[in-house]
Each structure stands twice: as structure tokens, then as C-alpha cells.
Amino acid sequence: MASGGGAGAVVFYPADRDLSAWCERHAAGSAPDRWPYGLDRLDAHLPRVTAKNFPPASPVTRVARRLAAVVPPMRRAGRPAGVTWDENAGSLLSTTNGLSARYSGVVWLTDSVARRGAAPFRTMRRAMRRMDGLWVLSDAQVAPLADFLGPGAPPVHYVRFGVDHDFFRPAPYPERPLVVSVGGDRDRDPETMLRAMATVRRARPDVDIVVQSKTTLAPPAGVTVIPYLTHVELRGLYARASVVVLATRPNLHVSGMTVGLEAMATGRPLVITRTPGMDDYFGGTSAAHLVDVGDADALGRETLALLEDPESAAAEGGLARAHVEAGFTTAHLAARIAGVIAGR
């Protein structure tokens, strides 16, 4: 496979991800990193890194992409490499011309194939096979993705995720106890989370609990559920939290790692479900407490233990921040992706 990046790189985002608005929010201090996922930090490793949105879909662009998909991808020497964050944007990149090479992350595809079989994803398989390199955020995804793509596919690299530790900065440990849970992706487990929070409230009715989720389940008494938070609101909630708690269903893409790392960057201990790949992110620090999938009792028990010993929880928060700084920032992430692009 060809390696790219010598002539720079163009990072492509979907048309509905308003890149200009994101940059403006970042400049105003209300969004992490200059570009989503910190891919602006590729410029520390590759020359001439730019970003742009894919054009909005239209009948003309749809026909052009269908035609491009039936011919081998063209690679133009001396042109920049194309980069996308996930397979959905990567499918558009696969038929984008004028590039020396194409690289994409893959986030959800391995779980989708595991649950529904390979047949519904033949088109995505063809698109990913047109890439020059792929990366995943969990080592548990490497073999399943390689098997799905088959012989002759581009190499699949494991790249650890990272967060903007400048935006999610340390905050003093709070005096008032607050438990926080954040996230509503398809692999969160709100039922287990709410059962665990009911246990916490029965034992500690003085503790406030805030769960950000789009669940339609009725929350237990004393638990506040909110559907959405801006980045600034999220940062403020982490700063007020005593402990951040996450429950997920079985999955391969490490659902919850973003929130877990953001909370730890803020200096908060974490209680989180152990799924494949989770130990690579949180197994190396005593500031993260991992419990089995679906175990609401363990989730509640670990949370209560931290609430009962705020001095130790605050100390764990310091370890949590150090853990992120040591290897889980967007600067680390960009360096790892740059290595994929450079063929290292």
C-alpha cells in the first residue's frame, strides 16, 4: 500500500459538521481543539495540513460518486493525502479524486457487522478497501475489521484516542457531592446506570445525581436527566462532579472512552464498565474503577466507596489527570494518526 503525507494532508469533515462554526467556537473558548477530534494537531507532524467540508450531497454528486466507485481509486503523486475520522466520512473519501492516498478511522463498523452480519455492509466494505490505511480506536477491533475486509485490504492500525487536556482542565475537587454520567451513543446502558444511581440515592440521599442521556426511561427519585450539554456546560459539570460513572453494553469500539478521558483530564475518578479494549485506556491507573457489563450493584458500590472517602477520591483525581497527560491527549492521538499516514 502507498504511504502518504509527504505533500501534506487534507482533513475532510461531513457537510453537516460546520467546520467554520466549530473554529469560531474554539477561538471563543467554547469548543475543544481547533478542528473536531484534534486533527488540526496533525500539522505538528505533516506539512501543509488543511481542513474542509465535503460538499453537500446532490443528485450530481451522488451520480459522480457511484461512477467513481466502480473504477480503481486514482492516486496522484505530489498531491496531499486525504484523511477522515470515521467510516461514514471515509465512504465519501473513497471516491474523492485528486489525492495521493486516503486514510480513515473506523468506529462503529465492527460492532455493526458483529450484530447484523456482513451482508448489509458490502458497500462500506468496498469503500474501506479503497483506502490506503485504516485505524481503529480499540485493539479489539483490529482482527474483526481485517477479517471483514478480507485479503488485499489496507492495513488496520490500532490508534489510542485522546482528548483536549487544555480545554478539559483540572478543577478543584468539590465539597458538595455530585455524581455525573454523560453520553447517549448507541452502546450506552441507561437501564443499568439508572439502577445503579437508585442504589446510590438510597444509601446517600444527600448526593445530587445528573445523567446526560436521551433515554426515555423514568429516572429514580433524586436523579436529574438532561438530554444535551454544550462543551462548556459539559466542562462545568465535570468540574462540579465528585465522580463520573459510565455504563455501556457489550461493544468493541470502547464506548465511553471520550467521556472517561475528559472527566479524568478534569481531575475526577471514574467508574466505568469493562468492555473489550477498555483496559488499554483505563487499566493502567487506580483512578479508574472497572466493573462488569450490566452489573448495577458493582457500579453503585464503587461509586459509593468514592463518595464515602472524598480525600482518597480527590487524590485519585490527581492521578487521573496525570494518566491523561501521559498518553491520552489529542496531541498524542495526532502523532499516532500521522504515523499511520507516514507509513510508520
Render each residue's pLDDT in the chain as its tens digit; 344 residues: 455 677 899 999 999 999 999 999 999 999 999 999 999 999 999 999 999 999 998 887 777 788 778 778 878 889 999 999 999 999 999 999 999 999 999 999 999 999 999 999 999 999 999 999 999 999 999 999 999 999 999 999 999 999 999 999 999 999 999 999 999 899 999 999 999 999 999 999 999 999 999 999 999 999 999 999 999 999 999 999 999 999 999 999 999 999 999 999 999 999 999 999 999 999 989 999 999 999 999 999 999 999 999 999 999 999 999 999 999 999 999 999 999 999 86
In CATH, what class is 9-162+329-341?
alpha beta
Domain segments of the chain as ranges? 9-162+329-341, 178-327
Nearest to 169 by CA among 268, 102, 250, 280: 268
**φ and ψ at residue 105, rounded to 5 degrees:** -80, 160
- To the nearest 10 degrees (0 to 180), the angle between helices 142-149 and 109-116 is 70
Q: What is the pLDDT of residues 65-116, one digit of tens each?
A: 887 787 788 788 899 999 999 999 999 999 999 999 999 999 999 999 999 9
Residue 8, number of CB atoms within 10 A of its CB: 17
CA distance 221 to 241: 19
Partners of 84 in the β-ladder: 104
CA distance 205 to 123: 52
C-alpha neighbours within 13 Å on the C-beta side of residue 191: 6
Q: Which amino acid is at 129?
A: R
Q: In what order do the strands lie in the sheet with 288-291?
A: 223-226, 208-212, 178-182, 243-246, 270-273, 288-291
Nearest to 105 by CA among 85, 89, 121: 85
CA distance 139 to 280: 8
- To the nearest 10 degrees (0 to 180), the angle between helices 231-240 and 257-265 is 60
Residue 233, number of CB atoms within 10 A of its CB: 13
CA distance 76 to 97: 9
Nearest to 9 by CA among 89, 96, 103, 90: 103
From residue 82, give the alpha-carbon distance in Å to each of 89, 169, 329: 11, 31, 23
Question: Strands 208-212 and 156-158: what pairing?
Answer: unpaired
Place of cell 487506580: 286
In CATH, what class is 178-327?
alpha beta
Using the Cα atoms of residue 196, residue 202, residue 203 and residue 207 in order, give the sign of their dihedral: positive
Q: Which amino acid is at 325?
A: E
Residue 139: DSSP 8-state: G
Q: What is the pLDDT of residues 118-157, one digit of tens each?
A: 999 999 999 999 999 999 999 999 999 999 999 999 999 9
